[in-house]
Amino acid sequence: MGIPFDKFDGVIWYDGKLVPWTEATLHVLSHGLHYASAVFEGERAYGGQIFKCTQHSERLKRSAQTLDFEIPWSVAEIDAAKRLVIEKNNFSDAYVRPIAWRGSEMMGVSAQDNTIHLAIAAWQWPSYFTPEERLKGIRLDLAEYRRPDPKTAPSLAKAAGLYMICTISKHRAERRGFADAMMLDWQGRVAECTGANIFFVKDGKIHTPIADCFLDGLTRQTVIEIARRRGIEVVERRIMPDELKGFTECFVTGSAAEVTAVSEIADWRFTPGAITKQLMEAYTAETLAKGKAAAA
């Protein structure tokens, strides 16, 4: 445990202006806190430039629309605000967290007239896992909770409420000595981890679940593009847990995790190999190259 996040130094963009970090507060009776009417993004800046900046802002807007509210700032304005936060906090490499939520005007389930707020913070946060863990491979538990049927929840939005079962699952995994947990979908098929997408390798091909009941991560999309550019076949398909014994490599992807090798999922074992290492290095090179190109 380090400094609590509400005690950091710096500035946060809050509803159109920069405010001191400790003053970026909301009322306890905000709808977003009680009913999870909130959406967010997790992004990274490399060399002072936010990777996939506009794509993240576009997804933030789409997620809000899925939750039946409109963020009152354009994608271009959100992009500019994020860049301002990086600049004013004097960051080069940083994690960026925009979040939008319904305010406190109404406190019932229905809150159609509530003010929509938007805040953007950034802080220095290394990869979710240490460099040693990322190379050696993290250990994953098998989560008790499953990703919900898309007919029961807005599964493709990056909505705060969807992460409730992720927190429960990750806490349980950590108490059992694992770094994270792999989640199945509502039909018992492989889905994702609590905060990252998952990939497997067999006979030189990459296999990954179809992202139709969980978030199609921007890091996931980037890694698939990189792999295909390098001539590695990527197969998006349904994967059943009993297939895991036939895969040789496994890795996870996400803005926080970047590309991280997996050595174990419950009773299944994997050996971080050439494809995983190649994609780890290629993803790092891609993010750094984008940052340098944007700064030039």
3-state secondary structure of 182: strand
Closest CA to 167 of 149, 181, 153: 181
Q: Which two tokens stand for residue 238?
A: 């349904």
**Beta-strand pair 138-142/180-184:** parallel
Residue 121's beta-bridge partner residues? Answer: 97
Verify whether residue 205 is a known catalytic residue.
no
CA distance linking residue 68 with residue 230, whole number of Å? 40
CA distance linking residue 149 with residue 111, whole number of Å? 25
Using CB atoms within 10 A of its CB, is residue 53 exposed (0-12), middle (13-18) or buried (19+)? buried
Catalytic one of 158, 245, 277, 292: 158
**Beta-strand pair 138-142/258-265:** parallel
Residue 122's beta-bridge partner residues? Answer: 96
Residue 147's beta-bridge partner residues? Answer: 185
As annotated, the active-site residues are 158
